[in-house]
Structure 1
């Protein structure tokens, strides 16, 4: 499994518009073979910061995602109008994982 987190700083006041505009992209990503989950979260400290958390079965599924038409359209145009600065990304390859574990402390 690969796990990806993308932290996006948006232009002030554009988070609602960004989330609405990205819904088609979100739906297309969730429908991809190998997608485990794809979610957006808004920072409680900064409403113009969106955290996207996503996971795919493996690196090949992640590569197919990056090469998809909807990904290219998002990177090349539709999302850029909302982005204030280059997003930060965390990419972790977890080859022996299938998904979530239960938190042992509870």
Structure 2
């Protein structure tokens, strides 16, 4: 599974519009056959920082990168950014999220 984390530093005037700007890409990525997840989150320390977390099955990566939306975001997203995004890419074993065994949560009793 290819896992990607990208940090975007967004201009202050774009923070309320950022998720609208990225919506088409997000929805298209989520619809790709090889996509396992595509989630956005916002930093609790800096409201101008957004994170994109993507998971792709190996077979779907090439199709994702060949999407015409990639060229579109290369044209449109920089206007909203402070600098070039930073990323971490890793291939991890398995096909999704693993249970965190060191922090088990006991079953809850009905109230």
User: TM-score, normalised to structure 2's length?
Assistant: 0.87
Deviation at 1:63, TM superposition (A): 2.4
SS in 2 for 1:24: helix
**Cα RMSD for the two superposed structures:** 1.1
The match for 1:35 is 35
Runs of 4+ in 1 over 3 A off after TM superposition: none
The match for 1:53 is 53
Alignment of 1:76-91 (within 5 A): 77-91=75-89
Structure 1: runs of 5+ lacking an equivalent: none
Alignment of 1:66-105 (within 5 A): 66-75=65-74, 77-94=75-92, 96-105=93-102
Range moving further from structure 2, 32-41 or 63-72: 63-72
Deviations 1:8-51 (A, max 9, x none): 11112312211111111100010011000001100011000001
Q: How many equivalent pairs are there?
A: 103
Structure 2: runs of 5+ lacking an equivalent: 104-111
Q: Is the 8 A contact 1:2 1:56 kept in 2?
A: yes
User: TM-score, normalised to structure 1's length?
Assistant: 0.91
If you compute each CA radius of gyration, which structure gives the higher value, 1 or 2?
2
SS in 2 for 1:5: strand
State the alpha-carbon separation in 1 of the partners of residues 25 and 71 from structure 2: 10
